[in-house]
Amino acid sequence: MNYTIYDATTGQILSVVQTADADLAELNLQDQTWIEGFYNGNDYYIDSGLAVAMPAQPGDGSAYVFDWSTRCWIIDIDQTAQNARNQRNSLLSAVDRVNPVWYASLTAEQQSALVTYRQQLLAVPQQAGFPSTIDWPAKPTWL
C-alpha cells in the first residue's frame, strides 16, 4: 500500500512510503500523520485528512514559495531579486563585451546611448519597485 506522510499542523506532504499496514506502526510518525494513497508534495497538501490540489503558482516571472500557514503562494523576494540581478548581469555582459575598436567606430550619439544604457542597467536594483516591478531600459537597436 502507498501512504502519504504529512505534517498534521501545516498539511505539508513530507514523504510517500510503500509498506504493509503492519509496517506503518514502525515508521515512528512523531507530529506527522498519514493518509492512504500516493500524493506528490509539489502538487498537493492535506487538509482535514484529504488531499487538496495546490493553487496554481503565479506566472508573472517572480520566484514564489508556498506559505503553508495561508496555503498561498508568496513572492520569494531574495530569489526574485537574484533572478533580476542575473538577468541584468547578462544584459551588462553584452555591453561589456563590446570591442574597443568597434566602440571607437561608433558615432558619438551611439557611444552616448551605449553608456546611458549601461548606466541604466547598473541602476536597475535601485528602482523603487525592485525586484517585483522593474522598468528595463531599452537596448539600443543597433547593439
| pTM of this structure | 0.73
Contacting residues for 47 by C-beta, under 8 A, at least 6 apart: 11, 71
Region at 48 (left for phi over 0; alpha for psi -120 to 50; beta for the rest): left
What is the edge-to-edge ordering of all strands in the sheet holding 32-36? 13-18, 2-7, 32-36
Tens digit of each residue's pLDDT (9 = 90 or more) over 44-102: 999 999 999 999 999 888 999 999 999 999 999 999 999 999 999 999 998 988 888 88
pLDDT of residue 72: 94
Residue 122's identity, in one-letter code, is: L
The pLDDT of residue 23 is 66
Residue 94 host element (H or E): helix 77-96
Of 59, 89, 86, 88, whose CA–CA distance to 75 is shortest?
Answer: 59
Q: pLDDT tens digit string along 21-51?
A: 656 666 666 667 889 899 999 999 999 999 9
How far is Cα 33 from Cα 18, in angstroms, rounded to an integer? Answer: 15
Instruction: Give the closest residue to 95 by CA, choosing from 140, 63, 126, 65.
Output: 140
